[in-house]
Amino acid sequence: MPKRKPQPGYDTSVPALGEAAHGNPLAYCRFVSDASRVRIELTGEEVSGLPEDGTLALDFEIAGPRQKLFFAPAKTKCAIVTCGGLCPGINDVIRSIVMEAFHTYDVAACIGIRFGLQGFIHKYGHDVVDLTPSAVRDIHEFGGTILGSSRGPQAPDEIVDALERMNVGVLFVIGGDGTMKAASAIQDEVASRGLSVSVIGIPKTIDNDINFLTRSFGFDTAVEQATAAIRSAHTEAEGARNGIGMVKLMGRHSGFIAAQSVLALKEVNFVLIPEYPFELAGENGLLASLENRLRSRGHAVVVVAEGAGQHLLDRMTERDASGNLKLGDICGLLRREMGAYLTERGLEPTIKFIDPSYIVRSVPANANDRVYCGFLGQHAVHAAMAGKTGMVVARVQDRYVHLPFHLVTSARKKLNIGSGYWRAVLESTGQQHLGPRPEACDM
């Protein structure tokens, strides 16, 4: 595959607040030098906008404890805020940050900001909470976030005003693409005032659509929960004449949960994702393919990502609190069209619709995600205490690295429907191409 040289937009350097002059209290580990870099070759599976046959090799700053610290731990106050929708593992990240900050660095205090960025703004009246090791001891056993969350922008200058009033030296921001953009704006405001405040992001998205991240935390748990819903849909479909089990999964812009769930459970016959502009009518459309499936096997399972098929609906203009266009009801359209089409052809269907979205996103993290969240929290604290700022901690392929905000907010990661991964999904379902056939791709 042809390689692309790094371009200015792919600058991987991470800002720092200043000279690190304090000794690190860790005495049992190998420290990581700021000069330590790891070269990682990325493909279109991880970076949005690359050509299908292209790769991008970049040098990333390695995550881990530094020998010298910028902040004096005994004088440092940390704050944690969680924003956006729920995702398995948020409490695990909060717990990891608090435990690392207190037990490893013995910081002066750690506070939690209630209900997202609203918690910084006085008019909302949200109190902060003290986050101590005893307060977070068992929170990893529960889903959601103990701090609460909210959507929607807040003025960066008001947020930084609040940070100054509370004498916060380190702000940990847990959230998705929009939240990381907000964190970047907060860091810009901090820098414009010449303040010594570190802003560290921990990317969170159940959809796995953050650019440059191989896999976001909570995704593994979400797939595990989604497969339980798909298994139920398959049972329902088999239990009825011309039974159709339809499962709606999360995936506003990217179909990673749907695709991975299909690979994990082989009972799915059709999978529809936002990146795949399928056709509904016509000889090779979804309806005709579904008819053939029912005539040959008597039942079918259809998995639909929430953002799929929007081209078949009236264009929505209303936006949610995060500024995203509200999605049309693709599953409602599919159920109506399937019912009318199949009944007209003497195959009156029994359609059982399952939407497990709130269950999928609100459960506690599984073992794999708990381990991942633990590392993210620890590396976030190491980076902050060393004076890093304007960055996120992330696992890219098998390495934990520092990424500047501009990389992860540059674009949303999309599932490459010309890739070997999508081909494997189609092979798992036996689904024929229901729309424009993508170009073949060597992956």
- Catalytic residue (one of 92, 207, 209, 220): 207
b/e sequence 325-355, b meaning 16+ C-beta within 10 Å: eebbebbeebbebbeebbeeeebebebbbbb
Question: Is 391:48 a contact under the CB 8 Å cutoff?
Answer: no
Q: Under a CB-based contact definition with an 8 Å cutoff, are residues 140 and 369 in contact?
A: no
CA–CA gap between residue 391 and residue 219 (Å, rounded): 21
3-state class of 116 per DSSP?
A: helix
Q: What is the largest CA-CA distance in the chain?
A: 78
Alpha-carbon gap, residue 173 to 133, rounded angstroms = 19
CA distances in angstroms from 92 to 20, 284, 391, listed in the order given: 29, 46, 20
Query: Residue 2: enclosing H or E segment and its boundaries?
Result: none
45 CB-near residues (< 8 Å, 6+ apart): 416, 419, 421, 443
Count Cβ atoms within 10 A of the Cβ of residue 321 and give its class: 0-12 exposed, 13-18 middle, 19 or more buried. exposed
Do 309 and 286 meet the contact criterion of CB atoms below 8 Å apart? no
177 is catalytic: no
Q: Which residues are catalytic?
A: 207
